[in-house]
Structures are given as C-alpha cells and as structure tokens.
Structure 1
Amino acid sequence: SSVGSMVASILGLLAIMLAFTFNLAASRFDARRQVVLEEANAIGTTWLRARLLPEPQRSEIADLLRDYVDARVSHVDYSTIDARLARSEELQELIWSRGVTAAESAPQSIMTGLFLQSLNEVIDLHAKRVMVGLRSRLPLILWVALFSLVIVGMLSVGYQAGLSGTRRSPAEFLLAISFAVVLLLIVDLDRAHAGLLRVDKHALIDLQRSMQTAQPRSER
C-alpha cells in the first residue's frame, strides 16, 4: 500500500541518518583516542630531552612534567574541566619559562633547542586535544534532524499498524529498541567526559609510571 511504502521510506531514511551520524560520532571518538596517544608520545620525548638539560632546569622541568602528566591523567568531568585546563596551561607556562632560561644560559645548545621544539609540540597537542575532546561535537541541527526522524518514523509505524487493524507485533517493539540502542550509542560516543564509552588513557598512565620511577623528585 501507499502507506506501507511511505513508512518503509521513512524508516530507510532514518536508518541512513543513524548510520551517517554514528560514523561521524565514532570518527570523533577515534580522533580523541589518537590525540591522547600522540600527546603521550610527545610528552615522553620532552621528558627524555629534558634529562639532557643542565641543572637546575633539568630537575625543575622533570618535576613539572610529572605534575603535568598527573594533570592530564586525572579524571575530568564537566564540573572540573575548567580548573584542569587552567592547571595544565599554568604548568606549560612554568615548563616553558624554565626552558627559556636554559636556552638563555646556553644559546648554542642543540639539546635545548630540541627540548623547546618537543615542548612546543606538547602545547600544540594540548590545544588539539581540547578542540577534539571538548569543542568538536555533533552539531545541534544534526541532533534535531535525527530526533525528528525518529519521532516521525515511530509515529508512522504506529499509524500503519492502526490502519491495518492488527495487534501490535513484537517486531515493532524490537525495531523501536534497535533504533533506541543505536541512538544511545551515538549520544555516548559524542560525550567526551561522560557516559560509558571513555577514551583509553593507558598510554599516559604508562608514561606516568615510568616517569615516577625514573628519578626522585627534587626538593622544591
């Protein structure tokens, strides 16, 4: 019937929209995971190069880098995100100032230049992680379109069932549950610091452990 064809078209469009949105959310989730790995590698490189700097900058920067990794590993939710970001940026400034001091004391030092280069990459990756993790979200218009299609699709299924005069089929219930599960997964993937799906921080945690056992903290 024409109503059946219309319902099938709406559900098909809804399925396409769900697949598109899920792929978009999954790619953003994967980008957040990748930038964590890149950040861990960059901090690790900075840590190794910092150990070749002269004293007292070497010990000071080592301690600050430990604090920086602790800040990056710590659990973050929407109530503490601003404080965590401010702490990370404060530590970046402190580490950079120590690096500049080392560069001024030894202007011809190649290792100091390499250290500042890797530190600059750490700062860039921090900005990238903030962008990917907090500000790169699915646009509101996409959510409006998606939920509108879900509502229209479920109403059309109910309308068709009412016209046919048949009893509710378990298949209709399973269809609604399937769409709801996919929708919840999309919502969860789009939330950076909430929900069940979290970005794996094991690369940063492993780095944190290696830095803690590398050498004792200096007295500050």
Structure 2
Amino acid sequence: MKEIMYDHNSVLIVSALFVCMLLAMEIGFRSGRRKQACATEAITQANAVLAAMLGLLALLLAFTFSAALQRYENRSQTVVAEANAIGTTYLRAQLLPKGMPDEVQALLRQYLGVRIQDGRVDATEPELHESLLHQAKLMEAQLWSHAVKAAELDPGPVISGLFIQSLNELIDTSSTRDAALNRHVPEIVLFLMFATIVLTTATLGFASGIAGHRVTLAAFVLVTLIALVVYLILDLDRPRRGAIQVSHESMLSLQQTIGAMRVHAFQPGSPPDAPQASRR
C-alpha cells in the first residue's frame, strides 16, 4: 500500500503539525473560558485528564521513536553485511577456474559501484532508484551464470562451492538491504500519534482557559519539544531523505580497498589488502 506521508518533506509535516497544535491550544483555551463559571470542579477534572493524556503521549512518542531508531540500526547493519558479502565474494573469485577471475571481479566492481550509487539516491528520484535496482539484478544474474559455469568446469565442488556460497550470501544480503530501506513505522501509528498530540494540546489550552489565564511559556516550550521529537522520528524513518542518512562508509571503504588491490596486482611482491569491510 502506498504511504501518504513518505513523499512529503518532514519539515512541512512537522510545521503543519505545529500550527495545528497552536490552533488546538487556542480553540481549547477559548472553550475553557466559556466554562469558567463552574471552575473548581472543572479545573480538577481537566488537570486529571491532561495528566493522563500527557502520559499517553509520552508512551506513544517513546514507542514510535524506539521503532524508528531500531529500523535505522537495522538498515545500517544490512549495509555492513552487504559490504562484507561483496568483499568475500571478490576474494573467493580468485579461486575460480583459469580465465574467469578477472571477468568476475570486474563485474563485482561494477556491482559495488551500482549499489553505492543506489544507496545515495534521494527519495525524490524513484526512476533512478528503479533503474539502478534493475542494473543490480541483471549483474546478480550474470554473476550466477558465472557460478554455474565454474561448477561445470571444476570437477571438485569445494573451490567453486566456496564462491557459490559467498555469492548466495551476496544476493541474500542485497535483498535484505532493499527490504530494510522500504520498511517504515506504520503510518497508522504516526496518525494516532499526531491525533494524540493535537488533542493533548487542545486539553492543555482548555485547562488554561478554565483557570482564567493564557498558556504559560513552559507549555509553549513543551509544544516545541514535542514537534522536534516528531521531526526526529520522521527523519530517522526516512533513509533516502532528510538530515539523518544511513552511513555507507563500509561500502566506500571496500571500494577503496579493492582499488588498492588492483594497484598491488601490477606490482609483484606486494601483498594484497583484504577487501573485507570492518564489522561493527
């Protein structure tokens, strides 16, 4: 199902929410002013309801923030796992029958470049993302055809089997990474959180109206902090846009290491660097 909010800028969403919070607070204040006649009992009830709603809002914010942060961590781990899988496959390609290693390693270098570029594509460029994803799938099919050919040429399954095993892991981790990038906090949870925020601020204004005074500066600070927390949640939940992006340092480091290996290959006696990305 297509998500409604994911295609909109986080700043615009939070700005609209902040305006709704201020409007709800003002509406609640004016409504409370009209009920000042029975203030004693109403103030006690309003304060009790406000405390309960603030507790519920704190629970929703904590739950949603935790879910967004967990998804962010999962995306970061899948990038490292894919870098490790590509590095292992690149090393084991040297075990393939004569004539195949150079061709397979060249294809893996192209594949790594495509995966790095795809990870940097913004959410506003879905066509480019689909094009890069299609290229990656074609390269995976080519790599698998090389694995099948290697298994036919090598009568001993051990050496070719090592390459096939690492290639299987490469394909699996790439699919896992793509799935992690498309996994977000359910929008129904966000809508419930927004509704709770607006109703809570309306109750805050209502309690102030019954008490006969405007909302204090501390209440406005609270409203601002809530808006900032919501922005942080949305930004964490959007890996392809916003200020907080998933780090691709492990993939870039692997690309540099593989490039260094190619340089060492033309210098006899120079030991190659292992292209394995550092595990976190």
Equivalent positions of 1:55-204 (< 5 A) are 55-74=98-117, 75-78=120-123, 79=125, 80-134=128-182, 136-204=183-251
- Residue 146 of structure 1: SS of its match in structure 2? helix
- From 78, 81, 84, the counterpart of 1:35: 78
User: Structure 2 CA distance, aligned partners of 1:67 and 1:116?
Assistant: 19
The CA RMSD measured in Å over matched residues stands at: 1.4
User: Structure 1 CA distance, aligned partners of 2:90 and 2:201?
Assistant: 55
Q: Tell me by how many angstroms 1:34 deviates.
A: 0.7
User: Structure 2 CA distance, aligned partners of 1:111 and 1:177?
Assistant: 61
User: Structure 1 CA distance, aligned partners of 2:110 and 2:98?
Assistant: 19
Structure 1: which 4+ aligned runs deviate by more than 3 Å? none
User: Structure 2 CA distance, aligned partners of 1:203 and 1:167?
Assistant: 53
User: Structure 1 CA distance, aligned partners of 2:102 and 2:141?
Assistant: 16
Q: Which residue of 1 aligns with 2:57?
A: 14
User: Structure 1 CA distance, aligned partners of 2:205 and 2:235?
Assistant: 28
Equivalent AA in structure 1 for residue 231 of structure 2: L
User: Structure 2 CA distance, aligned partners of 1:39 and 1:193?
Assistant: 18
Q: Tell me by how many angstroms 1:109 deviates.
A: 4.2
User: Structure 2 CA distance, aligned partners of 1:91 and 1:169?
Assistant: 61
User: Structure 2 CA distance, aligned partners of 1:93 and 1:133?
Assistant: 22
- Contact 2:79/2:177, CA 8 A, preserved across alignment: yes
- Contact 1:57/1:99, CA 8 A, preserved across alignment: no
Deviations 1:158-202 (A, max 9, x none): 111112121331101100011111111110111121111111111
User: Structure 1 CA distance, aligned partners of 2:130 and 2:245?
Assistant: 19
- Residue 95 of structure 2: SS of its match in structure 1? coil
User: Structure 1 CA distance, aligned partners of 2:215 and 2:153?
Assistant: 80
Equivalent AA in structure 2 for residue 203 of structure 1: S
- Residue 51 of structure 1: SS of its match in structure 2? helix
User: Structure 1 CA distance, aligned partners of 2:73 and 2:56?
Assistant: 26
Q: Which residue of 1 aligns with 2:262?
A: 215
Equivalent AA in structure 1 for residue 248 of structure 2: K
User: Structure 1 CA distance, aligned partners of 2:166 and 2:85?
Assistant: 7
- Contact 1:103/1:113, CA 8 A, preserved across alignment: yes
Number of residue pairs matched?
216
- Contact 2:97/2:154, CA 8 A, preserved across alignment: no
User: Structure 2 CA distance, aligned partners of 1:57 and 1:154?
Assistant: 66
Equivalent AA in structure 1 for residue 145 of structure 2: S
User: Structure 2 CA distance, aligned partners of 1:153 and 1:61?
Assistant: 60
Q: Which runs of 5+ in 1 are unaligned?
A: none
User: Structure 2 CA distance, aligned partners of 1:143 and 1:103?
Assistant: 50
